[in-house]
Chains A and B, each alone.
Chain A
Amino acid sequence: MATTEIPARDVAAARKPAPSRRARTSNRHYARVGWGFSSPALVVIGAFTIFPIIFAVVLSFENVNVTAAGFSLQGATVGNYHDMVSSGLWRHALWFTTIYTVVTVAVELALGTIFALVLERLSGGRGIMMALLLIPWSLITVISAELWSYIYNPTYGILSEIWHAVTGGSAPNVLGYPLDATIALMFADVWKTTPFVAIIVLAGLVMIPTEMFEAAEVDGASGWKTFWRVTVPLLRPTLGIAVLFRVLQAFGLFDLPYVLTGGGPGTSTQSLAMLGYNTMFTNIDFGPGAAVAVSTAVIVLILCLVFLRAFKQQVGKETISA
């Protein structure tokens, strides 16, 4: 083997016109090694993500019967999707998840950018601030949900106390009303995720060459104008990545409402993922549950493709294929 080995860079060069026989053999040898090295990982990924996704699509078109002995498929149907689309629960969950995603991502992006601008101007202690920002990011969502439910508690929550001190009245039961509960969920999300956005934006911000700002200053541009005309356009790829990750993550929303509101009051804060989970494990309806799950995945996939397209056009293909 050692006799035929040549470095991979030369191998890549040799793939261009008229490779020698020796290069071709070793090229094939390296390709085999490559597949050998990557196949264990690809097999695990395939078995536990791609195969289940395909199987979920199958389940969503089946009458699935689950008994103590196991499960059986009892005939193809489009009934699961028909019932889903005509169900008020699904439409409300879709609406709630969409509104939740749009509002939280917009707020987190604006607030995260402000955080990043502040930290970028900081003359010292940026390391400590970065460390601080990582704490909410690494927090278990279930824990932050319990924490906020304690803060929002109408009897002994600190929010009631602050409300009482400021307005003199007693605070409403925040989690008892659909709109209030939605805002409460969004606030908890903003608290946990804004630091993540701030870190990404800050990384993009420090990459902008100083000369850009100096030039704007020489031209006499105001701070506001510099921000919109210089900073934002140069940050756009970074902001694009942050939005992509956040939107896709927010659309799979589950942990926070499951613990903080239980989807309530009623089903007003039930996300698509929660509806899917409840259909499967509370109603033991795996066909319809799979349909809800697949509908969520399809929406995420469409969003992903739209983003990839927009992103490709913006910064060129090499950014993705690099």
Chain B
Amino acid sequence: MRRRNRRGWRRWINGPSIGAILIALFVLAPMYWMLASSFKTPSNVGASPPQYFPIPLSTAGYRAAFNDGFGGFIMNSLIVACCSTALVLALGTFAGYALGRLPMRGKYPIMVSLLMISVFPEIAVIAPLYLIMRDMGWLNSYQALIFPYTAFNLPFAIWILRNYFLGISMSMEESARIDGAGSFRTLWSVVFPQVRPGVFTAGVFTFTACWTEFLMALSFDFGKKTIPVGIASFGAQFTVPYGAYFAASVVAVVPIAILVLVFRKAVVSGLTSGAVKG
């Protein structure tokens, strides 16, 4: 990190700060456009030339979105994402511990296979899963998404958690054992608390992935639409759908943006774990 000591106005107005403002504009301008358009009146959404500021403010887009069952899409997304995240964390923590700390044969091939599965294109499993779920009567049910989401997000979660388990010290675990705590108690009260940041990282990543997933939700669950499928299907039902699109988009973006911003450190550590930890 090279930081020059700048004085006077140069402290505030310099190359990097101007660059940062340009980057912020690049990121925020389309987001502003979405927010502004969500509050335009139905006729102003389609105005030409476009309105730069949503005056008068209108909530017609929001009402249209919720009249078309957007509340139900949110419920579906929440149920699927929460169940999948809970399953991933429950299964992933034990697997991460085992693959990180216990002497198992074949750990290396398992970890490499997990790495490959985590980048595998979803389209490869759509045909078989659709046909099997159709035979089992699983289509348009929550479990049709919860199980595939759990399976697709577990590999990354196991990698993250394993890295954390490798990084913590053994001494506390040993002294807990000497004090006579059983295996499960040791794990629960001594080992797991130390990997809490890893659990947050894995949890935020899984939740975000489930919240944004489109292809499987579109293929398996047209009866129980999640938010992305619901928003994509608005078009057929509205004369001027953009107002409802953007209102729905703002509602869908806010919770995930808050989640990501609150757990910013966890997310950044997850994104960069590949680069930093290998």
A contact set with B: CB distance below 8 Å: 1-2, 5, 7-9, 11-12, 15, 27, 30-31, 33-38, 40-42, 44-45, 47-53, 55-56, 59, 64, 66, 70-71, 115, 118-123, 125, 127, 129-144, 146-148, 150-151, 155-158, 160-161, 164, 191, 195-196, 199-200, 203-204, 206-207, 210, 213, 237-238, 241-242, 244-245, 248-249, 251-252, 254-255, 258-259, 272-273, 276-277, 280-281, 286, 289-290, 292-294, 296-297, 300-301, 304, 315, 318-322
With A134-B261, A277-B123, A277-B126 already in contact, the answer to whether A237 and B112 are too (CB < 8 A) is no
Cβ-closest chain B residue relative to A286: B127
A139 vs B147: C-alpha distance when bound (angstroms): 23
- Inside 8 A of B236's CB, which chain A residues have their CB? none
Of B46, B99, B253, B276, the contact of A203 (CB 8 Å cutoff): B276
Known: A134-B267, A138-B256, A297-B120; 4 extra A-B contacts, CB below 8 A, are A34-B103, A71-B134, A158-B50, A322-B277
Of B45, B104, B126, B231, the contact of A143 (CB 8 Å cutoff): B231
Do A7 and B125 touch across chains, with their CB atoms under 8 A apart? no
Of B104, B131, B232, the contact of A31 (CB 8 Å cutoff): B104
Cβ-closest chain A residue relative to B215: A254
- Inside 8 A of A1's CB, which chain B residues have their CB? 182-183
- Inside 8 A of B124's CB, which chain A residues have their CB? 52-53, 56, 293-294, 296-297
A155 vs B27: C-alpha distance when bound (angstroms): 24
B117 at the interface (CB under 8 A from A): yes
Do B127 and A118 touch across chains, with their CB atoms under 8 A apart? no
Chain B residues with a Cβ closer than 8 Å to the other chain, count: 112
- Interface residues of B: mostly helix, strand, loop or mixed? helix
Identify which of A45, A64, A258, A281 gathers the most chain B CB atoms within 10 Å of its CB. Answer: A45
Stretch of B54-62, B89-97, B192-200 on the interface side: B89-97
- Inside 8 A of A319's CB, which chain B residues have their CB? 278
Of B120, B121, B182, the contact of A2 (CB 8 Å cutoff): B182
B contact set with A: CB distance below 8 Å: 1-3, 6, 11, 14-17, 19-20, 23-24, 26-28, 30-31, 33-34, 37, 45-50, 87, 91-92, 94-95, 97-99, 101-105, 108, 110-112, 114-117, 119-132, 134-135, 147-148, 150-152, 154-155, 158, 166, 170, 173-174, 177, 180, 182-183, 208, 211-212, 214-215, 219, 227-229, 231-232, 242, 245-246, 249, 252-253, 256-257, 259-261, 264, 267-268, 271-272, 274-278
